[in-house]
């Protein structure tokens, strides 16, 4: 028996602030159509796919940022993408800024959803590892205000049964944390979909674009291998509102190898056939958690700040 899913990493070029939501959605529809033409069952879009990466800009009145968030999902602007998915019988995963009102208070999350082949939302994830800072730093040439614009996700790391397998999601900075993969690995994940928006320069550290790309790949490949799962990492790339974002979207096999990747920094898909049964051997042997993990010796892992003696 095989469980082959043909997956498209649907990388997007920049989404500049001036671009209307509907124009962005129509670009995504172009990518989804391409993926469907290639026989894909599933396409994965980047983090905050519908807008510019607005946490790089400070708005003192948080409510003035409301237009960057989706109040409902789907909504009138993105409904055509959902309709296309249903018509072409292809699923997708999409990152977006979510605003919701609970108990009379507004909550904002950096979210990602999985939509099935009938155009229905099958799962949702809210980003846990928010990089950057919550305070505006006027002397800093580079703001990353994710902690200002978003709360830490409150849904944990769900793994759901979908597309014939065990499927989970995470978002951008989450990919740098082994806990992200292991939380899903312990639930038997076979496919992790993640979108990212990563500047090619880090002004706070002497890092070449090559080193930053290496680190991005390193953590995704290690996460795939150590949990015997496919990982699909998808970039929003190119020069967005004056900031250069890395591309390098890729599909990674449970053996840790990259099996498909994008070449440029614009709208582009990379496609691979992913047999979810390829996860089974690693889970049964080398990374048989039941047999080979030693949780009784990992006590301190829940300590927060390097305080283990
Ligand atoms: N979006 C996001 O999480 N980006 C971070 C950038 C950190 S920039 C120094 C990332 O980990 O890629």
Report the side by side order of strands in the sheet with 121-126: 121-126, 105-115, 91-102, 42-44, 4-11, 268-275
pLDDT tens for each residue of 58-76: 999 999 999 999 999 999 9
Structure tokens at 246: 């890395």
CB of 131 shorter than 6 A to ligand 1: yes
Give buried/exposed letters for 109-133 (b at 16+ CB in 10 A, else e).
Answer: bbbbbbbbbebeebbbbbbbbbebe
Tokens 């999601």 sit at which residue? 169
DSSP characters for 197-258?
--BS--TTS---HHHHHHHHHHHHHHHHHHHT-EEEEEEB-EEETTEEE----EEE-TTS-E
Structure tokens at 245: 């974002």
Instruction: Report residues of the chain scoring pLDDT below 70.
Output: 1, 307-309
CA of 200 to the centre of ligand 1 (A): 10
Structure tokens at 158: 């769900």
Structure tokens at 54: 């607005």
CA of 172 to the centre of ligand 1 (A): 6
Q: Report yes or no: 93 and 44 within 8 Å, Cβ to Cβ.
A: yes
Closest atom, ligand 1, to C-alpha of 171: 3
- What does pTM read for this prediction? 0.97
CA of 122 to the centre of ligand 1 (A): 26
Tell me the sheet residues that pair with 250.
233, 261
Q: Report yes or no: 73 and 38 within 8 Å, Cβ to Cβ.
A: no
CA dist., res. 28 & res. 5, Å (int): 20
CB of 172 shorter than 6 A to ligand 1: yes
Tokens 């671009």 sit at which residue? 19
| Predicted local confidence at residue 308, as pLDDT | 67
CB of 202 shorter than 6 A to ligand 1: yes
CA of 39 to the centre of ligand 1 (A): 32
127 is catalytic: yes
Shortest-distance Cα residue to atom 12 of ligand 1? 198
Residue 280 CA, distance from chain mean position: 24
CB of 173 shorter than 6 A to ligand 1: yes
172 is catalytic: yes
- Which residue among 172, 209, 212, 247 has the greatest number of ligand 1 atoms within 8 angstroms of its CB, and so is best to mutate? 172
Burial class for 22, CB neighbours closer than 10 Å (0-12, 13-18, 19+): exposed
Closest atom, ligand 1, to C-alpha of 176: 11
Total Cβ atoms within 10 A of residue 77: 14
């Amino acid at each position: 028996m095989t469980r082959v899913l043909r997956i498209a990493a649907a990388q997007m070029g920049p989404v500049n602030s001036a671009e209307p939501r509907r124009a962005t959605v129509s670009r995504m529809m172009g990518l989804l159509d391409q993926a469907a033409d290639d026989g894909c069952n599933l396409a994965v879009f980047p983090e905050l796919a519908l807008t510019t990466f607005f946490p790089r800009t400070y708005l003192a009145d948080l409510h003035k940022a409301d237009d960057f968030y989706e109040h409902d999902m789907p909504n009138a602007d993105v409904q055509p993408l959902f309709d296309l998915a249903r018509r072409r019988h292809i699923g997708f995963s999409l990152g977006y800024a979510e605003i919701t009102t609970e108990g009379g208070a507004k909550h904002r999350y950096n979210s990602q959803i999985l939509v099935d082949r009938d155009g229905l939302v099958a799962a949702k994830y809210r980003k846990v590892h928010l990089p950057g800072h919550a305070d505006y730093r006027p002397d800093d040439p580079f703001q990353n205000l994710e902690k200002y614009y978003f709360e830490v996700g409150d849904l944990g790391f769900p793994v759901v049964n979908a597309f014939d397998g065990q499927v989970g999601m995470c978002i951008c900075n989450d990919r740098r944390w082994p806990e992200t993969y292991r939380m899903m690995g312990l639930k038997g994940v076979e496919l992790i979909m993640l979108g990212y928006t990563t500047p090619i320069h880090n002004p706070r550290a002497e890092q070449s674009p090559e080193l930053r790309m290496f680190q991005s790949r390193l953590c995704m490949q290690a996460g795939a291998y150590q949990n015997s799962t496919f990982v699909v990492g998808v970039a929003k790339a190119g020069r967005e509102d004056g900031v250069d974002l890395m591309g390098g979207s890729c599909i990674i096999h449970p053996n840790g190898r990259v099996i498909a990747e994008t070449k440029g920094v614009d709208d582009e898909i990379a496609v691979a056939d992913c047999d979810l049964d390829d996860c089974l051997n690693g889970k049964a042997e080398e990374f048989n958690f039941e047999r080979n993990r030693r949780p009784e010796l990992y006590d301190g892992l829940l300590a927060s700040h390097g305080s283990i003696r």
